[in-house]
Amino acid sequence: MGIHKVDRLAVLLASAALATAPLLFGSTYTIGVLTVALCFGMWAASWDFMSGLTGRENFGHSLFIGAGAYTAGFLNVEFGLSPWWSLPAAPVCAVLFSLVLGLPTLRLKGPYFALAMLSGAAVMQNLTIIFSSYTGGQDGLNGIDPILDSPLAYYYLVLIFLVATTIILKVIANSMWGTLLRAIRGDEASCQASGINVNFYKIASLMISAAFAGLGGALYAHYQLQVGPDLFAVVLSINIIIMVYVGGLGSIYGPVGGAILLSVLTESLRAFSEYRLWVYTLVLIFILFFMPQGLIAPLWRRIRSYVA
């Protein structure tokens, strides 16, 4: 099925907008903020791909992010490999984690699955602190090499990955895979009765979600140049979920928009840093009660119906 012409145009325009943004705002600081926003975009899109489509909300997405980021850290700092190696290695590592946690939790329903994934991420966070001799404990790994020296060039690299991620995930979501994942959300027993191997699609979508999240994690690591146990924190997972809801569950591109929007917004509210979680929670409550479809996806659909 691919992507419709109007959507292709939108992708082009959005990419162009994101590409010109740093040129307009110039400073290294804003480029940094935007780079982080793009990473959140990858994390949000990858979360939406699985949880948005199948309805199995993963409250431990940070597990994959941290896995990817620490992989980047290890390969570069401990083993001295070139930072480019992180890009294939991080997704692989994240996928392994998704198998370890995903297989035993296949049969868990909604809230239990969410809680199990959350616990998995929390366990990993604790382990990272415990084995501090390997992981640097609370201080984490420092001195990671950047992939590219110019912040602007790196921004464009991350942007390319984000756009590619969004397109790939959207194409899969529009294909037969998307129909099957949404059917799993509809009713698992009926899926089985229709001859579909539900477990396979559940685990496969989790693996795909993990791979892109891990990749985002590595890209983040090579921006931040350090990784710490906070990358496994529950708070990160929840922030991402909020971004997805703002963007519009199940649309893939909506969450990207939501992520960028909220990232930039909270950064500009820096002065109120203690209240950040407060702000996020309020936003989530607001969206859940008044705009359960999100902000961005419905807006785009409205625009689209006038244009197409």
Partner 1 sequence: MMALLEVYGLNKRFRGLHAVKDVSFTLQTGSITGVLGPNGAGKTTMFNLLTGFVPFDTGTVNFDGQSLARLPPHKIVNRGLARTFQLARPFVGMTVLENVEVACLAPRVRGEGKAGMRAQALLDQVGLGEKSRHFVDVLSYGDLRRLEIARALATRPKLLLLDEPFAGLGAGEIQPLADLIRALHRSEGLTILIIEHKLREFMQLVQEVIAMDFGEVVAIGTPAVIVRNPRVVEAYIGKVEFDAPGLATTGDDVGTA
Partner 2 sequence: MVQILVYGAVISAIYAMLAVGFTLIFGVARILNLAHGSFYALGAYAVYTFTAVVHLPLWLASVLAVLFVAAFGMVMERVLVRPLRRSSLAVLLITLAVALMVEQMLLLVFGSEARNVPSMVNATYHFAGVDISSQRLLALGGAILILTSLWLFMQHTRLGSAILAISQDAEAAQYMGIPSDRIYSIVMGLSAGMAAAAGVLVAPFQTVIPGMGLLPLFKAFAIVVVGGLGSIPGSIVGALLLGYTETIIAFKISIEWSQIVSVAAVLITLILRPAGLFGKRAAF
Q: Which of 197, 269, 282, 285 binds partner 1 (CB under 8 A)?
A: 197
SS3 141: strand
User: Per-residue DSSP letters for 72-83?
Assistant: HHIIIIIS---G
Q: Which is nearer to partner 2, 26 or 292 (CB)?
A: 292
Q: Which of 194, 282, 303, 304 binds partner 1 (CB under 8 A)?
A: 194
Cβ count within 10 A of residue 292: 11
Q: Which is nearer to partner 1, 196 or 284 (CB)?
A: 196
The CA distance from 114 to 63, in Å, is: 13
The CA distance from 231 to 154, in Å, is: 21
Between CA 52 and CA 288, with CA 210 as vertex, the angle to 5 degrees is 25
User: What residues between 262 and 301 interact with partner 2 by CB under 8 A?
Assistant: 274-275, 277-278, 281-282, 284-285, 288-289
The CA distance from 124 to 153, in Å, is: 33
Q: Which is nearer to partner 2, 112 or 134 (CB)?
A: 112
182 binds partner 1, rule: CB under 8 A: yes
User: What residues between 54 and 73 interact with partner 2 by CB under 8 A?
Assistant: none
- Applying CB under 8 A, what is the total number of residues that bind partner 2? 27
1 binds partner 2, rule: CB under 8 A: no
Q: Which of 34, 95, 180, 241 binds partner 1 (CB under 8 A)?
A: 180
Q: What is the crossing angle of helices 234-247 and 62-73, to 10°?
A: 120
- 267 burial (CB, 10 Å; 0-12 / 13-18 / 19+) is middle
The distance of closest approach from Cβ of residue 173 to partner 1 in the complex, given in angstroms and rounded to an integer, is 14
Q: Which is nearer to partner 1, 150 or 190 (CB)?
A: 190
* Interaction partner, residue 271 (partner 2, partner 1, none; CB < 5-8 Å by kind): none
198 binds partner 1, rule: CB under 8 A: yes
Is the distance from CB of 213 to CB of 65 less than 8 angstroms? yes
The CA distance from 105 to 117, in Å, is: 8
Listed residue (90, 94, 70) closest to 226, CA to CA: 70
- Identify the DSSP state of 177: H
- Identify the DSSP state of 104: T
28 binds partner 1, rule: CB under 8 A: no
* Interaction partner, residue 109 (partner 1, partner 2, none; CB < 5-8 Å by kind): partner 2
Q: Which is nearer to partner 2, 116 or 204 (CB)?
A: 116
User: What residues between 101 and 130 interact with partner 2 by CB under 8 A?
Assistant: 104-105, 108-112, 115-116, 119-120, 122-123, 126-127, 129-130
Q: Which is nearer to partner 1, 80 or 195 (CB)?
A: 195
Spell out the residues 6+ positions from residue 149 whose beta carbon is closer than 8 angstroms to its own.
none
Q: Which of 179, 272, 277, 281 binds partner 1 (CB under 8 A)?
A: 179
What does DSSP say about strands 141-142 and 226-227: parallel, antiparallel, or unpaired?
A: antiparallel
> H/E/C letters for each residue in 174-216?
HCHHHHHHHHHHHCHHHHHHCCCCHHHHHHHHHHHHHHHHHHH
Residues that bind partner 1 (CB under 8 A): 176, 179-180, 182-183, 185-187, 189-198
Residues that bind partner 2 (CB under 8 A): 104-105, 108-112, 115-116, 119-120, 122-123, 126-127, 129-130, 274-275, 277-278, 281-282, 284-285, 288-289
